[in-house]
Structure 1
Amino acid sequence: MIFEPQPLEYFLASNAPSRLMRLREKVIQFNQLPVDNLLIVKFNRYFANCDAEQFINDILLEKLNVKHLVIGDDFHFGKARRGNFALLKDQGKQHGFTVEDTGSYYVNGLRVSSTLIRDALGVGDLAQAERLLGHSYSICGRVAHGDKRGRTLGYPTANIRMFRKNTPINGVFAVTMTGIDGVELTGVANVGTRPTFDGGLKVLLETHLFDFNQEIYGRYVEVHFKRKIRNEMQFNSLEQLQAQIVNDVVVAKDFFGLEHIETSEV
């Protein structure tokens, strides 16, 4: 069972911690696990004001008829986060269900948590984020039409709208993209608000793919972040921006061991 939106997003709105995965990405990951059913519960005013005992009685017992419950070892629930593992164990004895916690997971002596992963991503430490996640950090989405500025500059991009301004990463990265004909494509991507053009109004993931010339609008793809090249910058002219993009492409291609001359465009 997962909540949508996440409780902190309900209470803090745009000030909530950035998501590591969007809802669809979570569903895709669950589909790869031996999970029979995924219950997505809308977090609303009822849940915001529901105390722990009410949640147990109304949801776990009456709605779900729970017999065995598995939770994270730091799981809290109910109004003021009063519900915890100890309360569930006590209630389980009274109502005939058992409770198990997953225990903490450690990597190199560090307890893995979303906060720790966000911290690593926030400072551009993709290697640490990959160790904690067990795979490279990625963002999924559907390729959408943009304003074609990248094409005008000679570096067309596949664009994915982020929808939320608060993202765990920002800047320019060497990336791979999957989801197109079973091939892993290489490229360079920018995640940010494009201050040179948009003045910070919206977050966009723009990926320029190397030696690639297919139309992929509407395709659902996954962008895997391999190395951070630099932070996002505002430029005084398109010429400055274009010169920086040339350098970004060189750095990314060096990372992938590719030649610097491109033979085609998107």
Structure 2
Amino acid sequence: MKIIRGIANLNNQFSQCVLTLGNFDGVHLGHQQLINHLIEQGKKLNLPTVVMLFEPQPLEFFSKQNAPARLTSFKEKVQLIEKLGIDYIIAVPFTQTFANMSAANFIQDWLINQLQAKYIVIGDDFRFGHERKGDITLLQQYTHNNQFAVESMPTFVYNTLRVSSTAVREALFNSDFKLAHCLLGRHYTIQGKVVHGNALARQLGFPTANIHLNRSKPALQGVYLVKVRNCCDDQHYHGIANIGIRPTIQGKKAILEVNLFDFSGDIYGQYLDVTFVRKLRDEKKFDSLTDLQQQIAQDVCTAQQISAKLTN
């Protein structure tokens, strides 16, 4: 799979294509259904498959503070889409200039003239163009000249629940990881690179692997029992993770900190997959570092007891 960063870098990498476009945050079962359908059409027409993404996601651009929590970073999203078998991802920088483009101009200039899309499939609720005026009805107006075929995928439903990024966020907010798994088709996992922190956790006796989240707002907050896979050596561990701003030390930016059970070693610079199993408590501000240390010790004890029950 190739990543094309911006339509200006298309450089005739393909002459025609089949296309879908959207945010694809979480790459849940609904997204997977749409992408798999696109791949089937690509095989029928013998054309490359293209997924167009927007970065940042539109709501993050228009109102960063009020945007919904991000389920997947750009890198995670790309990895999940690549596993499905897509040929190209076009990552479009979402700027004010792009936001001002009319839906009609977007269709004519981008989808027809530059991408030469012969088949387009979108979700039934997808909107595009200035003031979100573009939809399936507008796209259908361009099919009479045989410019392209277009299709809208119906909503994917799980047990009467509409599968959506919003539904996944709500499941995670409620710590319903079983439901999140059913909506995603996999466990909810955050992947990230271990970076150097302030070493406070080590001083407290609970060294952590610190992972920057690379997203405006994480979908989880609190302390969790987690399963961890080291992507470099495929070793697996249990541990506890805190995801949040660390109010006891006046933290400002959310970070993921993971304490691995029965592990000692240097994993700086390595990538970890952190899968959330059960929430232990909310993040809170403690009156002293001693109080925080005592709470972490209790968290570790609780998590190890739960982990033992799950593995027996």
Q: Calculate the TM-score normalised by the size of structure 1.
A: 0.93
Q: 1:3 & 1:249 partners in 2: Cα distance?
A: 40
Is the Cα–Cα contact under 8 Å of residues 128 and 135 in structure 2 kept in the other structure?
A: yes
Is the Cα–Cα contact under 8 Å of residues 112 and 147 in structure 2 kept in the other structure?
A: no
Q: Find the counterpart in structure 1 of residue 136 from structure 2.
A: 85
User: SS of the residue aligned with 1:143?
Assistant: strand
Which of 214, 236, 248 is the matching residue for 1:196? Answer: 248
Is the Cα–Cα contact under 8 Å of residues 164 and 203 in structure 1 kept in the other structure?
A: no
Q: Find the counterpart in structure 2 of residue 135 from structure 1.
A: 186
Q: Find the counterpart in structure 1 of residue 169 from structure 2.
A: 118
Does residue 234 of the first structure (1) align with residue 291 of the second (2)? no
Does residue 183 of the first structure (1) align with residue 244 of the second (2)? no
Q: 2:90 & 2:235 partners in 1: Cα distance?
A: 33
Q: 2:156 & 2:208 partners in 1: Cα distance?
A: 38
- What is the identity, as a one-letter code, of the residue corresponding to 1:183? Q
Q: 2:134 & 2:303 partners in 1: Cα distance?
A: 48
Does residue 257 of the first structure (1) align with residue 257 of the second (2)? no
Is the Cα–Cα contact under 8 Å of residues 126 and 228 in structure 1 kept in the other structure?
A: no
Displacement of 1:81 after TM fit?
0.9
Displacement of 1:163 after TM fit?
4.3
Runs of 4+ with >3 A deviation: none
Which whole-Å deviations, capped at 9, do the CAs of 1:117-155 have from their partners, x for residues lacking one? 111212222222222112221111110001111111111
The percentage of counterpart residues that share the same residue type is 45
Is the Cα–Cα contact under 8 Å of residues 70 and 215 in structure 2 kept in the other structure?
A: no
Which of 208, 212, 220 is the matching residue for 2:263? Answer: 212
- What is the identity, as a one-letter code, of the residue corresponding to 2:208? T
Q: 1:70 & 1:3 partners in 2: Cα distance?
A: 16
Q: 1:161 & 1:35 partners in 2: Cα distance?
A: 28
Is the Cα–Cα contact under 8 Å of residues 173 and 190 in structure 1 kept in the other structure?
A: yes
Q: 1:58 & 1:227 partners in 2: Cα distance?
A: 48
Q: 1:30 & 1:165 partners in 2: Cα distance?
A: 21
Q: 1:57 & 1:112 partners in 2: Cα distance?
A: 31
Q: How does 1:162-181 map to 2 (within 5 A)?
A: 162-164=213-215, 166-178=217-229, 179-181=231-233
Q: 2:195 & 2:165 partners in 1: Cα distance?
A: 29
- What is the identity, as a one-letter code, of the residue corresponding to 1:64? L
Displacement of 1:164 after TM fit?
4.3
Q: 2:55 & 2:208 partners in 1: Cα distance?
A: 31
Q: Find the counterpart in structure 2 of residue 9 from structure 1.
A: 60
Q: How does 1:21-170 map to 2 (within 5 A)?
A: 21-164=72-215, 166-170=217-221
Aligned pair count?
258
User: SS of the residue aligned with 2:196?
Assistant: coil
Q: 2:206 & 2:92 partners in 1: Cα distance?
A: 42
